[in-house]
Amino acid sequence: MSTTDCDVLVVGAGPTGLTLAIQLLSRGVRTRLIDQDPGLPKLSRAIGIQPRTMETLDMMGVADRLLEIGHRGLRTSVYVGGRRQAGIDMTCADSEYAFILHLPQHRTEEVLRSRLAELGGKVESGIELLGFIQDADAVTASLSDAEGREVQVTASFLVGCDGSHSKVRRVLDVPFEGQPYPFDWLLADTELDGGGRNDEVQVHCGPGGQPLALIPIDGRLWRVSAPMPADRGGAAPTLEEIQGLVDARGPGGIVVHDPETLTCFRCQIRSTDTYRRDRVFLAGDAVHIHAPTGAQGMNLGINDAVNLGWKLAYVVAGRAPDTLLDTYAAERRPAAQQMMAFTDSMVRFVIETSPLKRTLRRAMMPLLRTPRMRRRLANRMAQLAIAYPDSPISQPGRVRGLPTPGARMPNIRLHDGRTMNEALRDGEHVLAGPDDGLPGRVLVRPDGYVAAIGRDGHSSAIDDYLQSVRTPAHSGR
């Protein structure tokens, strides 16, 4: 009989915390999800959901709801002097979701909240984490309730999904290393006329090389985004200022009007090596932040939560040893580093103003147009290239025609008619084999990555994995 108030206390109900709470509740873990905000903030933040995230949201049973309300972006194009010079074509991505789904973050969060409610969960709004202590058995957290009273809650584990200014990270005294970029980013979510194709993100490079991004949010709204080499102290731009930037850097003939938000922010690139300290974990923006270029931050956070969720559920249920939880950092830290390097290279690509480097950049562009490079870039952007081959739980092995251990499992159709992602909705491992059209057996983890493979018949790699995680595998049939 547990003596804690809950198994897991999730701090922060942004996309990371909501996803984690769904992962835990769907596996019967006693979970509390708190957020200091009194309601759902409607700030202008993420608008792009990447293909890999759509796949994981499919495993959570919410991809269709998002598809109904989202807008499909097929590619990102870089225009110089009005001519398309380079880009990333998402239709080349190896996924059934070969596009970026554009949807304001608060609407994505609404869908996640509705799934949470279906599972009997809720966001406890207006509850702030003040601090915590931990010992060998539990974490004791101090919370301030909606009336400002301080209350104590005990949990077996606490996860800080509390964003870039994470209180949890600060209590752990974990450094958040990195630096701000040396420019401010101006943003307007606005209506506009003359924007052209609304199925692509357009990045226009003005005569001096300074970029302007035009991102269709839906059929009506666009996000206009432009970096400025100055420190404005956070002062929001006026609509006239945005129009001036659009005229100076854009293709001409675009008129912005009726803005919903006008903001300025200074983005940073920062991360930490510490994803876990004993019973306390960090996830999402609490462990990595970077420029919004390429639409990756929310996606990384959601996929952190999917990675951690099943592992916590297994350990809480006594179905796996505590060491399984160490694989969260071993797998997700390299993934974050990879995506941070990718966004940083994109920032440098678009903000380069040195004439020499711009000439070199132009010379490189044909290389990006080869079919191999287009597919590679799309898969990288889509977070489909993230894999865990070096994870301590990925069992070595190679069988011709099967994905390698640690790789993402493609969404194959199983012989019972379900897709792999549908089978993974049960929250367990799935064993697929020759009946499912495979040239051997594949054990797939609950987060859709390959745990172990084997030829038909006995597989010591699959046995070894099951022994290390101590879990019964559910057959795909």
Ligand X SMILES: Cc1cc2nc3c(=O)[nH]c(=O)nc-3n(C[C@H](O)[C@H](O)[C@H](O)COP(=O)(O)OP(=O)(O)OC[C@H]3O[C@@H](n4cnc5c(N)ncnc54)[C@H](O)[C@@H]3O)c2cc1C
Which residue in 34, 312, 423, 432 binds ligand X (CB under 6 A)?
34
User: Side chain identity at 272, as an amino acid letter?
Assistant: T
Tell me the C-alpha distance between 121 and 108, whole Å: 17
- Does 51 sit near ligand X (CB under 6 A)? no
Which residue in 174, 187, 306, 461 binds ligand X (CB under 6 A)?
187
Tell me the C-alpha distance between 128 and 44, whole Å: 23
* Cβ closest to ligand X, residue 222 vs residue 465: 222
Region 86-105 residues binding ligand X, contact defined as CB under 6 A: 105
- Does 45 sit near ligand X (CB under 6 A)? yes
- Does 189 sit near ligand X (CB under 6 A)? no
* Least Å from the CB of residue 102 to ligand X: 8
- Does 36 sit near ligand X (CB under 6 A)? yes
CB 340 within 8 A of CB 53: no
Which residue in 20, 32, 48, 99 binds ligand X (CB under 6 A)?
48
- Does 141 sit near ligand X (CB under 6 A)? no
For 443-472, b/e burial (b = at least 16 CB within 10 A) is bbbbbbbbbbbbeeeebebbebbbebbebe
Stretch that binds ligand X, among 8-16, 353-361, 377-385, 390-398 (CB under 6 A): 8-16
**Which is it for strands 6-11 and 150-160: parallel, antiparallel or unpaired?**
parallel
- Using only the alpha carbons of the chain, give its radius of gyration: 23
* Least Å from the CB of residue 347 to ligand X: 13
Stretch that binds ligand X, among 15-23, 74-82, 88-96, 240-248 (CB under 6 A): 15-23
- Does 301 sit near ligand X (CB under 6 A)? yes
Q: Tokens 């752990």 belong to which residue?
A: 172
The residues near 212 (Cβ < 8 Å, ≥ 6 apart) are 203, 204, 206, 224, 225, 226, 245, 246, 249, 250
Query: Of all residues in the chain, what percent are helix, strand and coil, respectively (each to 5)?
Result: 35, 30, 40
- Does 184 sit near ligand X (CB under 6 A)? no
Phi, psi of 63 (to 5 degrees): -60, -40
Tell me the C-alpha distance between 141 and 151, whole Å: 8
Residue 214 DSSP code: E
* Cβ closest to ligand X, residue 11 vs residue 453: 11
CB 125 within 8 A of CB 117: no
* Cβ closest to ligand X, residue 272 vs residue 459: 272
- Does 11 sit near ligand X (CB under 6 A)? yes
Which residue in 10, 46, 92, 315 binds ligand X (CB under 6 A)?
46
* Least Å from the CB of residue 14 to ligand X: 2
- Does 206 sit near ligand X (CB under 6 A)? no
Neighbours of 277 (CB within 10 A): 15
The helix-helix angle for 105-118 and 15-25 (nearest 10°) equals 20
Please report the DSSP string for 267-330 in residue order: -EEEE-S-SEETTEEE-GGGTEE--STTS-HHHHHHHHHHHHHHHHHHHHTTSS-GGGGHHHHH
* Cβ closest to ligand X, residue 201 vs residue 325: 201
CB 447 within 8 A of CB 426: no
The residues near 79 (Cβ < 8 Å, ≥ 6 apart) are 85, 202, 203, 204, 205, 251
Stretch that binds ligand X, among 161-169, 170-178, 375-383, 408-416 (CB under 6 A): 161-169
Stretch that binds ligand X, among 145-153, 158-166, 444-452, 454-462 (CB under 6 A): 158-166
- Does 31 sit near ligand X (CB under 6 A)? no
Tell me the C-alpha distance between 37 and 126, whole Å: 5
Stretch that binds ligand X, among 1-9, 42-50, 247-255, 464-472 (CB under 6 A): 42-50
Stretch that binds ligand X, among 58-66, 245-253, 293-301, 415-423 (CB under 6 A): 293-301
- Does 403 sit near ligand X (CB under 6 A)? no
Which residue in 76, 108, 140, 296 binds ligand X (CB under 6 A)?
296
- Does 113 sit near ligand X (CB under 6 A)? no
- Does 16 sit near ligand X (CB under 6 A)? yes
Phi, psi of 454 (to 5 degrees): -160, 165
- Does 384 sit near ligand X (CB under 6 A)? no
Which residue in 5, 30, 37, 426 binds ligand X (CB under 6 A)?
37
* Cβ closest to ligand X, residue 163 vs residue 440: 163
* Cβ closest to ligand X, residue 52 vs residue 429: 52
- Does 70 sit near ligand X (CB under 6 A)? no
Stretch that binds ligand X, among 295-303, 326-334, 338-346, 418-426 (CB under 6 A): 295-303
- Tell me the site size for ligand X, rule CB under 6 A: 33
- Does 411 sit near ligand X (CB under 6 A)? no
Neighbours of 439 (CB within 10 A): 13
Which residue in 129, 339, 386, 430 binds ligand X (CB under 6 A)?
129
Which parts of this chain interact with ligand X (CB under 6 A)? 11-17, 34-37, 45-48, 105, 128-129, 161-163, 167, 187, 265, 284-285, 292, 295-299, 301
